A and B are shown apart, each in its own frame.
Chain A
């Protein structure tokens, strides 16, 4: 990794400034949501718009905590549970599958690869009813398990398709060395390949988590009780309740984003290094 030299001096400063500019442009919508949530309704409608709240208004945040049977913190916990569950299933199933597809040539391989893709091709509207019937028969309707099982169906194919490339790029000689060492196919996979593919696995885990985190349709349809619903379901409540009361809506948005952003900031070291460690070298 260190073959390429670090950039220093003026060029470093220039590139860093450019990167900050990019950051500002791309994150502007987030900033706008944040300050809108801190303005009074009156200031939101002010023309020209203000770029920071002149009168700080925290009422919209208090409303998130006070109202109704939809509890922000509990729904955050539900979302977390559902997303972690879906991520575990997705990673456990997708990692071996992508290895198998990348490294072996067996009959029906292309068909399987295509069918993983096909499972992603139906819009939710037609998946809801049959899945609902299945979950009801499995006795998991109205539990977080239903959402976990459904959300994993988004993460698995995605991870297979991404990881397959990763495994394919791992040179054969590493495996061959393992076989010469007396490993068989399974132990070579577990002891040699998974550690090497860790960055790829990490990325898949993150994506699976985020797909589950952002899911609305499954969580809303398969879980009926408010107290078991994921946080995204709250958006429906708040949209109905507050209409275009933007201070409330954006406060809800900010509250939804903050915990994820925090987790991300703490995990960032692992995520970014995982992605770019360059573990796979020829």
Chain B
């Protein structure tokens, strides 16, 4: 038995399993990361992209960014957008996962169909929500008017504050199935015996939820949240199609602003710097995640 246990620990054979995937990512994404970091310390624009010298100007791009209004808006927008989306889609997704884990007739088929929003390319979703939130022909305005919640149409996508709200709604809609399916999968890994013994012990539903479901789902929840955070934080397609960062830059995110600087205004280095700010923030979140998930492990 001792021998077998040893297999599970400090065993470098494990690397062989991980290496192919690791190398793949290293080649295809490692190089871009390094290139991007170098680029962000240079002064590359239209004039010296192809020819001419690329000077190292160190942190000048970053210093300039922090005096740039649009950058500050983008940074704040990205954080606000990510947190709000995450909270709502996680809570709703979790609730739905629990609801559909009950064994009633429609549970499986309906849960299956609910995944459809997730299968739709984001650009198409963005188009659909653009239609829903349209001012004159939008059905959302119509419903609100019918319920007498508003007296005149709201210009959702052309007013700074509400445009962000529309984006968040669209993203929550996409994110609900994502959260639901992953949490559902996680729920299946919880041994049923635990619930049985809990009910024998006289625990009620709320108690079982907090004492069994949540703790055992912890790894799943952590993965869902961290992945959700990363994918939400670098949102691009949705914003690009729905608002393109407007009106008056009020819905620019770090990713859309980076794109705009790089490919519309020819400020390649500055665009890279914005991307690196995004990277650093996510890196901090990532480190916390790794710490949290590997903390309980026996080393």
Contacts and interface: CB of A to CB of B under 8 A. Distances in A.
B286 A121 contact: yes
Given A19-B100, A117-B289, A126-B262, A32 B21 contact: no
A119 interface: yes
Contact of A4 (B103, B262, B298): B103
A27 B128 contact: no
A20 B110 contact: yes
A112 B21 CA distance: 10
A15 B299 CA distance: 46
A176 interface: yes
A84 interface: no
Nearest to A132: B32
Contact of B184 (A180, A232, A276): A276
A268 B120 contact: no
B151 interface: no
Contacts of B182: 162, 203
Interface string A107-122: 1111011111111111
A18 B9 CA distance: 48
A24 to B, nearest CB: 10
A130 B35 contact: yes
Nearest to B268: A129
Interface string B218-252: 01100100110011001011000100000000000
A126 B25 contact: no
Given A4-B103, A96-B17, A213 B121 contact: yes
By DSSP majority rule, is chain A's interface helix, strand, loop, or mixed? helix
Contact of B108 (A110, A124, A185, A272): A272
Nearest to A15: B104
Bin chain A's interface residue count: 35 or more
B168 to A, nearest CB: 15
B227 A161 contact: yes
Interface string A134-176: 1000000000000001101100111011101110110010001
Contact of A127 (B29, B226, B237): B29
A105 B10 contact: yes
Nearest to B287: A114
Interface string A195-226: 00001100100000010011111000000000
Nearest to B282: A121
B167 interface: no
B128 A250 contact: yes
Nearest to B278: A123
Contacts of B191: 281-282
A23 B99 CA distance: 13
A127 B146 CA distance: 47
Contacts of A52: none
B201 interface: no
Contacts of B106: 15-16, 19-20
B219 A33 contact: no
A223 to B, nearest CB: 16
Contacts of B39: 126
A257 B124 contact: yes
A119 B25 contact: yes
A128 B220 CA distance: 31
Interface in B10-44: 10-18, 20-22, 24-33, 35-36, 39
Contact of A156 (B21, B114, B188, B189): B21
A45 B115 CA distance: 31
A169 B96 CA distance: 23
Interface of B: 1, 4, 7-18, 20-22, 24-33, 35-36, 39, 96, 99-125, 127-129, 131-132, 136-137, 139, 142, 146, 173, 176, 181-182, 184-186, 188-189, 191-193, 195-196, 219-220, 223, 226-227, 230-231, 234, 236-237, 241, 254-255, 258-259, 262-263, 271-272, 275, 278-279, 282-283, 286-287, 289-290, 294, 297-299
9 contacts: A32-B131, A104-B14, A121-B283, A123-B278, A125-B255, A125-B263, A126-B272, A134-B28, A272-B108
The 7 A-B pairs at the shortest CB distance, nearest first, are namely A104-B14, A100-B17, A97-B21, A123-B255, A121-B282, A93-B21, A125-B259
